[in-house]
Amino acid sequence: MICQRCKQREATGYMEKTINGLKTRIYVCPDCFKQAQLEMFSSFGDVGLFSGLNVHGGGIKCSKCGTTLREISDTCFVGCQNCYTELSEHLKPILRNIQSAAMHIGSGPNSESVDEVAELEAQLKKAVAEENYELALKLQERIRQSKGGAR
């Protein structure tokens, strides 16, 4: 099916819009889907949802690379890794919108290997079955740390 927005590329998904109480499906290509998401995001800014974040005036920006919060919310791109440190609290609502989460729970650079985590999980199961809760707690903590540590 051809994208109903650009009428050029192939549609690979759809968006639902409620117009006058009527739910309508619009089949779109990935490019138009991304564009529509960005437009929706920008329009939130216009009605003041981000007014508390000072997105509009561009007042909040990374002191290292100068990328503004507005630019990040419009493009989804940050300028440097310092943006994540300095604008951390402002990025969380944006991340919740894009990723439905704002906290990492995967592995980290010093995590144990997949096999080791699987091994720890097997040991944990065994410890629980044997009602060795002290060991289970220790294993749980090691698994938590190796999966990234942040919950």
Partner 1 sequence: MNENIILSSRVRLARNVDGVPFKGINSASIATRALNALREQGSYMMHSINSLTGLEQTRLVERHLISKELIDCQGSAIIRDDNKVSVMVGEEDHIREQCILPGLHLREAYAELREIDRAIGKEFKFAFNPSFGYLTSCLTNIGTGMRASVMMFLPALALTDSIGRCIGGITRLNMAVRGVYGEGSKAEGYVYQISNQKTLGISENDIVASVENVATHMVESELKAREALMQVDPEGLRDKILRSYGIICNCYTMSKSEFMELIAFVKLGVYYNILSCSDHAALEKIITDVQPASLCLGQGRRLDVGERDKVRASICAKIQQIVCRIGG
Binding site for partner 1 (CB under 8 A): 1, 9-14, 27, 29-31, 65, 72, 76-81, 84-85, 88, 91, 94-95, 98-109, 113-115, 117, 147-150
- Minimum Å gap between C-beta 27 and partner 1 is 7
Nearer to partner 1, 73 or 127 (CB): 73
Closest residue by Cα to residue 9 from 38, 25, 31, 37: 31
DSSP string, 100-147: S-SS--S--TTPPPHHHHHHHHHHHHHHHHTT-HHHHHHHHHHHHHHT
Nearer to partner 1, 115 or 134 (CB): 115
- Minimum Å gap between C-beta 106 and partner 1 is 4
Torsion of CA 61, 59, 98, 35, to 10 degrees: -100
Nearer to partner 1, 135 or 149 (CB): 149
- Minimum Å gap between C-beta 100 and partner 1 is 7
Nearer to partner 1, 109 or 134 (CB): 109
- Minimum Å gap between C-beta 125 and partner 1 is 15
Which pairing describes strands 22-28 and 13-19: parallel, antiparallel, or unpaired? antiparallel
Q: Which two tokens stand for residue 24?
A: 């309508």
Q: Which two tokens stand for residue 63?
A: 């002191």
